Amino acid sequence: MASSVFHLADYIVFIGTIIISFLIGVFFAIWEKVRHHNTLEDYYLAGRKGKTLPVALSFVVSFQSSILMLGYPAESYVYGTNNIFFAVGAFVAFIIAAIVIVPVFHPLKLSTVYEYMYLRYGNNVLRYFTLTLGVVYAVFYMGSVTFGTSVAMEVVMGIPYWGTILIFTIVTTVYTSIGGIKAVIWTDVFQFLMMVAGFIFVISKVTIDLGGWMSMKELAGERFHFNFNPDPRIRLTFWTVSVGSVTQTLSMFYMQPTMQRIFSLPNQKNARIMFMFAGPVYCIIMVAAAIEGGVIFAYYASRGCDIYHGGITKNVNAIIPQAILDVFGNIPGLPGLFIAALSSAAFSTLSSLLSSLSVIIFQDAIRPYRPHMTKQFEAKLSRWLTVLFGVLALAVSFLISVFQGTISFIFQSFISCIDGPTCAIFTLSILFRRSTTKGVLIGSLCGMAVSMWLTLGKLFSDVPPDVMLKSGPVDQCVNVIHLNTTYMSYSNESLVFNVTQTYVNDPNEIRTTNILHEIYSLSYLLISLSAFLVTMVVGIVVSLCTSPPKNIDDRLLFSFRQQIWCKRTGQSDEKESQERCSEEMRSMISNGVVDRKSSFDR
């Protein structure tokens, strides 16, 4: 069992990580109180005076958690490292965000991203619609992250998954509720260092043990063969991964955790620098996660026992934790370092999402209807909202434990009906002047319907499962299971039913029998893109068929001339423009054009 190789040093490293994360939250709670920084703007947005580097690192780890540290390597282990091309689409999305998203949102000095919808359309329909989507996305994400971490803890330390879920949810909720966004940011910086250390130790140790990079690649075989087949039905290729990841990544930038970091920075320049710095770092970590899966496969191939296909580890999400025990089990402290890195990833995501959920519910759903609360009551309410969402994340974690498959597949499959339409809603709003409430709403509902249909069809129809790459040797496994027998599958294509898997050499093999099977065979990475495209097309068509919006404020739209051409020719003064924008926003508030309580004191 895991406990037999988890030494005292491992427990010290792991527990130390939890204690440090907790103490950072306590420190900032005391520090902010001493400096009398007790306003909601300080609690949620660091007084809009955040430092670029720590905010950038915090942003990187906010969306990289157990889904990244367990799900992506597991995908590489079973299906090959073509998910490395996620970095291509992600990098494109970061550039788009720096050029398009920042200059639209930062000058508005909002508190939540959903306030934009009120300013853009003059009503709360899309504001509360997108808010609801954002809350569901965040809660499901927190549940996925917590469950993924609990799988690793159960394998490595023998702690039952429900115990891990309780520990992580409670600790994160406490330090986030008392320390605010500054505690989240600086804890994220510490946790970023732990994550990077975990990847470096695993990849370097295994590669050295196998005799170097070339020897490792030879053992990994086709795991490191890149697939450029344009067929959209193949699970992982350059095209499905790089193209599908653009909208998935962009949708994260329209979420409140990202906007909190944009709003916490003092000016546009800093916000753009944050994206340009965070982009390469984010992509490097994505590449490391993909490579790790192939490296682990090579490790077990060298020992003649593919632990997944040989039946040693039936839960695909337990491959990496089991590998950590096998690789580092005789080196006290290193298994603990991995668990610490995984814990750090979980803490960073949970804390960021808890903070964002608290602010959007308080600012968008409560404050407009209770405008005369005292500052003391507002502060207490904000902290209790954090606790409430911590409890909700706890419940969702137990719900997700019912499903089987890699965490990345479970999350991306079910969340594709949210992230694609959400990305399209904001994209239409900032790029298409003619977009209307009806057009955007109907388009998003159509996009959600299409993505949900594709997801359910892929999961519950009799469409043949995605073809796995050829398994590694199993002759040295203790418990060998014949590869063509039927067993309880933990692969990505099933939930709680038995399937028979066939392992072949050619990942390009597609087995379909009718038109519905052809449609349901679409790579799960393209479902979000499909929803995005449907939302955009329907949204534009319906908007053109409805009454055009009146009195649109140009500051709520992206202007190529203002943001690209004028800056290139030196005709735009960012500081003067931003000050003018903020002054005009204050004027709009004082004149009743904008809800006085739609954002924090400006």
List pLDDT tens digits, range 317-356.
788 888 888 888 788 877 887 777 777 777 777 777 887 8
- In this predicted structure, what is the pLDDT of residue 438? 94
- In this predicted structure, what is the pLDDT of residue 372? 75
Residue 145 has pLDDT above 70, yes or no: yes
State which of 51-65, 238-252, 480-494 shows the largest mean pLDDT.
Answer: 238-252
Residue 6 vs residue 204, higher pLDDT = 204
Confidence band of 493 (pLDDT split at 50, 70, 90): very low
Indicate the pTM of the whole model. Answer: 0.81
Name the least confident of 338-342, 412-416, 576-580: 576-580
- In this predicted structure, what is the pLDDT of residue 406? 54
Question: Three-state SS string across 119-160, please?
Answer: HHHCCCHHHHHHHHHHHHHHHHHHHHHHHHHHHHHHHHHCCC
Confidence band of 412 (pLDDT split at 50, 70, 90): low
Confidence band of 535 (pLDDT split at 50, 70, 90): very high
Lookup: tokens for 358: 């608290």
Confidence band of 429 (pLDDT split at 50, 70, 90): very high
Residue 154 vs residue 249, higher pLDDT = 249
Mean pLDDT, to the nearest integer, of 411-440? 87
Name the least confident of 103-117, 153-167, 194-208: 153-167
Residue 484 vs residue 117, higher pLDDT = 117
Residue 187 vs residue 298, higher pLDDT = 298
- In this predicted structure, what is the pLDDT of residue 96? 93
Residue with tokens 């690192």: 57
Lookup: tokens for 419: 């992230």
Lookup: tokens for 214: 């070339």
Residue 175 vs residue 406, higher pLDDT = 175
Q: What percent of the chain has pLDDT over 70?
A: 78
- In this predicted structure, what is the pLDDT of residue 275? 92
- In this predicted structure, what is the pLDDT of residue 98? 92
Mean pLDDT, to the nearest integer, of 187-216? 85
Residue 470 has pLDDT above 90, yes or no: no
Residue 486 has pLDDT above 80, yes or no: no
Mean pLDDT, to the nearest integer, of 375-398? 76
Mean pLDDT, to the nearest integer, of 489-505? 35
Confidence band of 26 (pLDDT split at 50, 70, 90): confident
Please list, in sequence order, all residues whose beta carbon lies within 8 angstroms of the beta carbon of residue 226, skipping any fewer than 6 positions away: 81, 82, 84, 85, 238
Residue 99 has pLDDT above 50, yes or no: yes
- In this predicted structure, what is the pLDDT of residue 498? 30
3-state helix, strand, coil in the chain (%, to 5): 70, 0, 30
CA distance 472 to 370: 62
CA distance 289 to 161: 23
Confidence band of 89 (pLDDT split at 50, 70, 90): very high
Name the least confident of 10-19, 475-484, 509-518: 475-484
- In this predicted structure, what is the pLDDT of residue 50? 79
Cα-Cα end-to-end distance for the chain? 57
Taking every pair of Cα atoms in the chain, the longest distance, rounded to a whole number of angstroms, is: 77
- In this predicted structure, what is the pLDDT of residue 488? 31
Confidence band of 499 (pLDDT split at 50, 70, 90): very low
Residue 485 has pLDDT above 60, yes or no: no
Going from the C-alpha of 192 to that of each of 175, 189, 408, the distances in angstroms are 17, 5, 20
Q: Which helix (H) or strand (E) holds 256?
A: helix 256-264
Mean pLDDT, to the nearest integer, of 377-402? 75
Residue 155 vs residue 583, higher pLDDT = 155
Comparing C-alpha atoms, which of 430, 500, 425 is closest to residue 462? 500
What 8-state DSSP symbol labels residue 503? Answer: B
Comparing C-alpha atoms, which of 141, 163, 136 is closest to residue 64? 141
Q: What percent of the chain has pLDDT over 90?
A: 20
- In this predicted structure, what is the pLDDT of residue 422? 92
Mean pLDDT score across all residues of the chain: 78
Q: What are phi and psi of 430, to 5 degrees?
A: -90, -15
Mean pLDDT, to the nearest integer, of 472-496? 47
State which of 92-96, 166-170, 353-357 shows the largest mean pLDDT.
Answer: 92-96
How many angstroms from the chain centroid is the CA of residue 207?
A: 28
CA distance 73 to 85: 13
- In this predicted structure, what is the pLDDT of residue 430? 94
What 8-state DSSP symbol labels residue 482? Answer: -
Mean pLDDT, to the nearest integer, of 28-40? 65
Q: Which residues pair with 487 in a beta bridge?
A: 499
The CA radius of gyration of the chain, in Å to the nearest whole number, is 24
Residue 81 has pLDDT above 80, yes or no: yes
Three-class SS of residue 487? strand
- In this predicted structure, what is the pLDDT of residue 110? 86
Residue 295 vs residue 569, higher pLDDT = 295
Name the least confident of 286-300, 435-449, 457-471, 506-520: 506-520
Residue 357 has pLDDT above 80, yes or no: yes
Confidence band of 542 (pLDDT split at 50, 70, 90): very high
- In this predicted structure, what is the pLDDT of residue 88? 94
